[in-house]
Each structure stands twice: as structure tokens, then as C-alpha cells.
Amino acid sequence: MLTRKHVLLCTFFITMIIFINVPSACAATPADRISGYDRYQTAVAASQKGWPDGSDIAVLTYGDDYPDALSAGPLAHKFDAPILLTGSSDLNPDTAEELLRLKVRKVYIVGGYAVVSKHIESKLSAMHIVAIRLAGDDRYDTALKVAQKVGLSNGVFVALGTDFPDALSAGPVAAANDMPLLLVPPQDLTESEKVFLDRNIIPSSIIIDNPELSDQVIRQFPNYEEINGDDPYERNINLITRFEDNLDFDTLYFATGENFPDALAASALAPKNKNPLLLLKGNTISSQANSFISSNIISQLYIMGGESVISASTEANLADLPPQIASVDNMSDTVQEKQAYEPPKTVTVTTTNGSKAKVPVTWTMTALNAQSAGTYDLEGTIKNFSQKVHLSLTVTPVWNRITAEVIQNGHYEFPTTVDAILKDHTVKTLPVTWDITTVDLSKVGTYKFEGTVPDLTQKVSLILKVTADSELEIPDAALKQIIYQRINKAPGSIIYKSDVLGITDLYAVNSGITDLSGLEYFTNLKSLYLSKNKLSNLNRLAKLTNLTHLDLRNCGIDDVSPLKGLTSLTFLDVAVNNIDDFTPLEELTTLRSLYLSGNLTRDYSPVKAYYNYLTEKDFNL
């Protein structure tokens, strides 16, 4: 028998089960209105939103009809200025008040005296505002005047001038791309437009292809591209999609395409952050717009105009369309050591509807100078998502170019490993696989091969020089004697290049050597010990780029500039000499053992870039 207590407990558990299993609703995207009690006040509201701290310049145009006003968006963007509206005979009082708030010094009037009277110029002058009028004989000529002011270096946008929706679509995109908007008649260009095209270099023409626009008009534009669609709302979305790489979808603006003033105000405001303007047919969201909004992560929506134009229910529907971020794809990238790296500006996310989208990301560091090989973790944030974004950056070593020299018809074995300097400046030996393992050595020449290191995209290069055998001249008797001993030849024998190319180390300490001539042929040499000889010139060492260990202690040398190209050196001893400048050593960043004391200078600053990574040294900075 159920008691009242049992009933209450059952009710509680059923309620909890229902509560737990109700799917959580996704939060709607924030949507705000930019509006006033009329079109003039809406333009003022847009100005206040975009220029809260004022603006030296404003664009002023007629508010009761569209023909001259449509080309104003790119002009406003060029000068980072709002677009304000006025009546024809007198300056609108709300506009006048906004000009004062902005502290405007200059106004560009778009249109002739028939739409913006001379009296308005006088009023602006009385407000200590300089008025510059851009006007032609008709709407098309006025658009040309505006285009010349905006500039043509990036090309032009083109829209039908006998209606406004396509021009309203084009205005913000043209502005975001620093391109002017030209208005054209449906059947043929005006004579002024033909002359304009003939006299100017226009690199590209983006034409909004209204069905009323004839081929006769389109084909007169150079390098043209058409933006098509069955109606202005489809063309609006197609245009935005075409230029998505130059636009920021984080914020969207919406205005009716049934009238021009609200969208015109947005054509100055939206391009400030390269945001697009979507047109609605009254309260109707087109299928193309619905699909576009539902496919992009959007942080903010702005509705231009009051509820009499775009209803509250449409605003709510728009706010519910953008998906939210469900997860972020972590990223990886690779860059070579010592190269500047800029992280990507967007990351790919998975949305709540399962689609993929790209959204802007802010990284903790905007650039990285990848000085050392290794793996780095970059952390970033994106709007409206609490989790961090991570980018794993692999910095690959800049390998010292591997060089080798062999005698014609000789033998060469490719190395099985290469050395890489890691981010902690330790040296790691890594396996390498070459694109070829045998080589024809019958022909004299220089050959390049590439090798692959596991898990690294960067290739390792090897330069192999095949040379003809030849007799070597070794003028210094002491050096010659050391070489005879090393190659196991009797004194007085001829020394050939083939005798010395196999030598990778040479010990000649305190041997009475004064001339290193002939040593330049020892190109495969890796270790060379010459301390306590009297050496006045090191030029013969400059080509021994495979050297990793070089001992020149107490040799009486005064110039180490021949060593500046020996970038494979890990050990260098030039202590107890007559050196007064260590600048040639500044690029020898692979050094781990360096001895400099006992010279004419104690200025060791040229080696400061790698000083902290030296494991053996006899000096301090």
C-alpha cells in the first residue's frame, strides 16, 4: 500500500529523472539593435556605436532617396568616418547634434545641390566645419567622383544604379577591400563612365550581376568577375561567401533590403572590423542566409533599425540560428629554427550541429622567433568558449649543409646519422635515410642529395664533390713531414689528393709549422690540432667547413676572420694569441667549447648569442 511518503518520493525521483534527461538548450547569440525613431536617428545611433570618441571627418548624404547615397560606404571607410543623413533644404537637427558630438572638422557631401542644398553648406560653415562636395551630373557621375577619391588601385565593385539592394550588398564588402562602388545603368554605360574606364587602370571589376544588367554593360569592364544569384538576397550571400577570406564573420550586421537608409548607415559601420552586412526581405530570412548563419560561429549580431522594420520575433530567430562551439581542434605546425613564426589567425572548431567552422583566435604570443629546435606549446583563447586552444609548434633544426669530397672512380658511403642542435642546445644524433644510396663516381662534378629524418618534414642536404686526382704542393717541410707520417708514405714521395681526402683528423701540435698551404685540400677533415705552431695566416682553413674541432692555442695569430664560415665547429681554442677582434666568431653558434683568454682584447661580446650554451670556456661576459 502506497503511503503519502512513498508518493512524494516517487514524484521526487521522476522529477529528477526528467530534469537530468532534458537536453540543455544552446545559448542564443547576443543580438543588439542599432536604431532610432527614424532613419536619421538610426544613422546617428550607428555613428555613436562606431565612433564613441568622435571623428574628424563625416560623410553626409540625402536621406530621402538612394541614388547618390549608395556609393558613400567605401568613401566613409577610407576616412574612418560615419555616414549621416540629412534632408534636402536644411540640416537635420539630430544630424547637426551628432556632428557636434563627433567634433567633426570636415564633411564630405555626396550629391549635388538638388539633394543637399547650398544652405546646408552654409550651416556647416557656421559650425566651423569644412564641406567638400563630391557631385556629378547624375548618380553615375557622382559615383565616379567618389571612386576617384577612394582610389582604384585594388579595382572596383559595380552594381545596378536604378535599384538599391545590390549596391547595399556591395558597399560594405567593397569598403572592407578598399575598393569603390560604381553605379551603372541597365543597358549601357554613360559617356562619362566610358571615358573613365578608358583613362584609368582598373586591375579587377567585381560586378553584382542583376538580371536587368545587360551584357553590353558587363563586358566593358576590364578583368571582370560576376556575382550571380536569383534575387538580391541570394546575391548578397554569394558575395559575402566569395570574399569570406577578407571578412570577419565573428560579428554580423542585418538590415532590410526593402529600403536603403539603415543598410547605408551599416555600410560605414560594418567595414570598421571587416564585418559583412546581410539583407533581409522585411522579416523574411532567405534560405541562403539561414544556411550561412547556421554554418558560422558568430559572437554578436547587430540589427539595423527598429522593430517596425525587423520584428522582435525575427531578431529572436536570427539569434537562435548560429551554432555554438562544441569542441576545438588542437593544432600542430612546423617551422625551421631561426625563422620568425606567426600563429594562424583562426582555428577550426566543431559546432553543436556537427559542422566545422573557422573562428578567430587570440594567442598568448603573437609571434615567436624560433631560435632553437624543439617542440613549443602555444596557448590561445576564442570568444565565448572557456577551454584553451593549443598549438604544438615543432621547430626543426637548420642542418649544417653536409659536404664531402671524393676522388673520381673512388668510393663513398652515405652517413647514416646527422647531428641536430635541440632547444636546450644539446646535440642529438638522429638517423637519416637518403633518397639514393649509391652514386656513379665516374664523372667529375658536384652532386646534391636529400635525406629524410623520421618525424621531421625538413630535408637534410648533402653536397658531394667528385674531383680528379692530382698532385699536391705542401711547401712547409714540417707540415709535409706530419702528412707523410699520417698517410704512411716515405718522405720525398709525391702526395696526391687521394692520399689526404680520407683523413678526418690531423695532430700537428708544436711541430714548427709556419705555412698551412696545401691544407685546404683536406676538405673531409673534422679535427685539427695546430697549437704551439707559429702561424701568421689562417686563410687555408677557410674551406674546411667539415671541421668540428680546431685547436689554435698559442700560435701567434692576430686575425680569426678566415674562421667565420666554419659553422660546424663545436670546439675552438684560440687562447694565448694576438687577437684584438672576436667579431668573426659571432655566427659560430654550434660551439660548445670556446677558449679566448690571453689575447689583446677582453671584449668577448661578439659571442654573447651562444655564451650561455657553452659548456667549456675560459672567459666571462
pLDDT(135) > 60: yes
Q: Is residue 378 situated within a structural domain?
A: yes
Q: How many domains does the chain have?
A: 4
Q: Are residues 463 and 558 in the same domain?
A: no
Please, where are the H alpha helices in 129-224? 139-150, 165-176, 191-199, 215-218
**Lowest-confidence pick of 15-29, 49-63, 313-327, 385-399:** 15-29
Q: What does the alpha-carbon distance between residue 349 and residue 358 come to, in Å, rounded to a whole number?
A: 6
- pLDDT (tens digit, 9 = 90+) per residue, 354-377? 888 778 888 887 656 555 666 778
Q: Are residues 156 and 233 in the same domain?
A: yes
The label of the residue with cell 694569441 reads: 577
- pLDDT (tens digit, 9 = 90+) per residue, 508-565? 999 999 999 999 999 999 999 999 999 989 999 999 999 999 999 999 999 999 999 9
Spell out the residues 6+ positions from residue 192 whose beta carbon is closer than 8 angstroms to its own.
136, 137, 140, 141, 144
Last residue in a domain, options 364, 396, 428 = 396
Q: What is the CATH number of the domain that holds 450?
A: 2.60.40.10
Q: Are residues 177 and 311 in the same domain?
A: yes
pLDDT(27) > 70: no
Long-range pairs for 431-434: beta carbons < 8 A, 24 or more residues apart? 432/460, 434/462
Q: Give the other-Cβ count within 10 Å of 159's Cβ.
A: 31
- pLDDT (tens digit, 9 = 90+) per residue, 414-440? 888 887 766 556 667 888 888 887 788
Domain hosting residue 445, numbered range: 402-467
322: left (phi over 0), alpha (psi -120 to 50) or beta: beta
Q: Are residues 202 and 134 in the same domain?
A: yes
Q: Is residue 25 situated within a structural domain?
A: no
Q: Are residues 183 and 65 in the same domain?
A: yes
Q: Are residues 377 and 445 in the same domain?
A: no
Strand 346-351 vs strand 459-467: parallel, antiparallel, or unpaired?
unpaired
pLDDT band at 339 (very low <50, low <70, confident <90, very high): low
Cell of 104: 567633426
- Determine the pLDDT at residue 345: 83
The label of the residue with cell 536644411 reads: 90
- Residues 180, 147 contacting (CB under 8 angstroms): yes
Q: What does the alpha-carbon distance between residue 115 and residue 549 come to, in Å, rounded to a whole number?
A: 84
The mean predicted confidence, pLDDT, of the chain is 88
- Determine the pLDDT at residue 336: 65
- Determine the pLDDT at residue 242: 95
Q: Are residues 125 and 170 in the same domain?
A: yes
Q: Are residues 232 and 248 in the same domain?
A: yes
pLDDT(109) > 80: yes
Q: Which of 421, 422, 330 is nearest to 375 (CA)?
A: 422
Q: Is residue 2 situated within a structural domain?
A: no
pLDDT band at 315 (very low <50, low <70, confident <90, very high): very high
Q: Are residues 229 and 278 in the same domain?
A: yes
Q: What is the CATH number of the domain that holds 342?
A: 2.60.40
Q: Is residue 22 situated within a structural domain?
A: no
Q: Which of 459, 457, 409 is nearest to 434 (CA)?
A: 459
Q: For helices 165-176 and 261-269, give the axis angle rounded to 10 degrees.
A: 10
**For the residues of 527-557, what is the DSSP string, one character each?**
EEE-TTS--S--GGGTT-TT--EEE-TTS--
pLDDT band at 243 (very low <50, low <70, confident <90, very high): very high
- Determine the pLDDT at residue 396: 65
**Proportion of the chain above pLDDT 70, given as a percent:** 91
Q: Is residue 20 situated within a structural domain?
A: no
Using only C-alpha atoms, the chain has a radius of gyration, in whole angstroms, of 37
Residue type for 49, please? K
Last residue in a domain, options 396, 415, 439 = 396
Beta strand residue intervals within 16-118, DSSP E: 31-34, 57-62, 83-86, 106-110
Q: Is residue 4 situated within a structural domain?
A: no
Size of the chain, expressed as the number of residues it contains = 621
Q: Give the other-Cβ count within 10 Å of 125's Cβ.
A: 11
Last residue in a domain, options 396, 424, 448 = 396
Q: Are residues 511 and 599 in the same domain?
A: yes
Q: Is residue 21 situated within a structural domain?
A: no
Q: What does the alpha-carbon distance between residue 540 and residue 521 come to, in Å, rounded to a whole number?
A: 9
**Backbone phi, then psi, for 282, in 5-degree steps?**
65, -120
Q: Are residues 522 and 484 in the same domain?
A: yes
Q: What is the CATH number of the domain that holds 509?
A: 3.80.10.10
pLDDT band at 350 (very low <50, low <70, confident <90, very high): confident
Give the alpha-carbon dihedral of 193, 195, 201, 204, to 10 degrees. 30
Q: Are residues 418 and 359 in the same domain?
A: no
Query: CA of 433: how far to CAs of 307, 441, 450, 555, in Å?
Result: 69, 20, 9, 41
Q: Is residue 23 situated within a structural domain?
A: no
Q: Which helix H or strand E contains 301, and what residues bound it? A: strand 300-304
